Amino acid sequence: MSARIVLVTGGAGFIGSNLVARLAEDPGRDVVVCDWLGDADEARWRNIAKHPVADVVFPEQMFDWLGRRWHDLEAVVHMGAISSTTEPDVDKVIRNNFLLPRDLFRFCAENRRRLIYASSAATYGDGALGFDDDNDPAALAALRPLNAYGWSKALFDQFAVREAARDLAPPQWAGLKFFNVYGPNEGHKGTMKSVAAQIWPDVLAGRPVRLFKSYHPDYPDGGQLRDFVYVRDAADVVEWLVSRPDVSGIFNLGSGRARSFKDLAEGVFAAAGVVPRIEYIDMPEALQGRYQYHTEARLERLRAAGYEGQFTGLEDGVADYVKGYLSQPDPYR
């Protein structure tokens, strides 16, 4: 009897590699990674080196692989995307974040295979309409993302809901609006790393940490709020969805509690046993008009669907990240 196969696109990336780690815990499941690994000095191959990866597929070969192996496929977990919120090439963003997942969605629908994919809290824009993961087409169409990345994710969410309403969706389809995810295996992300990872070298070296000043009267410097969610919690939600083929729809994936960047920085200092030293610097002009000052996931839909897992508190998650990974010679999960 053949093993169950889960294909994880973007499987050597940050969230994707943590999903590979979580899904590979089941000895009856083969986890296949679809991704590019880059050169030897890049961290991406190390992100998956500790786990029993059954196969590696390059993205340009994905549909050929699917054409051969779809009979053995339990699900596709699609995490591959252009994730930079400042990517200037909108055509590149749309090719990767809309056209490719559109074709993948249709493949899964035609072949009756399940699909779980990454959406984003960036779809909510400045948050003026709140953070309710309403699946109503009118509610989704009303959202106004602040950048091309957020728009591409919103566009695909609308496509998925529209296809589902026409009975043209995979037997299970689930989109996850990830909020601010942090944790191990993000070292390759450069400026797109979480703030915890970006400030760690300064904390370690005894330098002051720099955070952006606020340009909103309701938020002090460092008081800008985000829903920070530990990547292990995100992986638990995805694994739960893989185990629940009856659950479909778009769901928020955050901790459900907004905390400030100052709280986050102080958590990193505390985990390192260092007295906090924080300085506030000017925000780049290009970001000042396209900046989210508050995000907080509403989790009612996820709970109503049956998810009962708990989310790690910020201080506990940061401490685990710092002590278990960032401060270690081998920081990979």
Report which secondary-structure segment, H or E, holds 211: strand 209-212
Question: How far apart are alpha carbons 325 and 273 in whole angstroms?
Answer: 15
Question: How far apart are alpha carbons 266 and 274 in whole angstroms?
Answer: 9
pLDDT recorded at residue 2 = 57
**What SS3 string covers 11-37?**
CCCHHHHHHHHHHCCCCCEEEEEECCC
Give the closest residue to 318 by CA, choosing from 176, 184, 121, 178.
184
Give the closest residue to 86 by CA, choosing from 209, 188, 185, 191.
191
Give the closest residue to 83 by CA, choosing from 156, 148, 175, 12.
148
pLDDT recorded at residue 290 = 76
pLDDT recorded at residue 1 = 45
Q: Could you say which architecture CATH assigns to the domain 4-179+230-255+296-311? A: 3-Layer(aba) Sandwich (3.40)
Determine the Cα angle at 93 with ends 88 and 98, to 5°: 155
Question: How far apart are alpha carbons 29 and 116 in whole angstroms?
Answer: 16
Question: How far apart are alpha carbons 123 and 131 in whole angstroms?
Answer: 9
Q: Are 314 and 179 in contact (CB under 8 A)?
A: no
Q: What is the mean pLDDT of each run of 10 residues along the chain (333 residues)?
A: 84 97 95 91 88 96 96 96 89 96 98 98 93 97 94 98 98 98 94 94 96 94 96 98 97 98 97 96 84 93 98 98 96 93
Question: How far apart are alpha carbons 274 and 115 in whole angstroms?
Answer: 44
Catalytic residue positions?
Answer: 149, 189
In the block, tokens 């460092």 appear at: 222
Q: Structure pTM?
A: 0.94
pLDDT recorded at residue 289 = 74
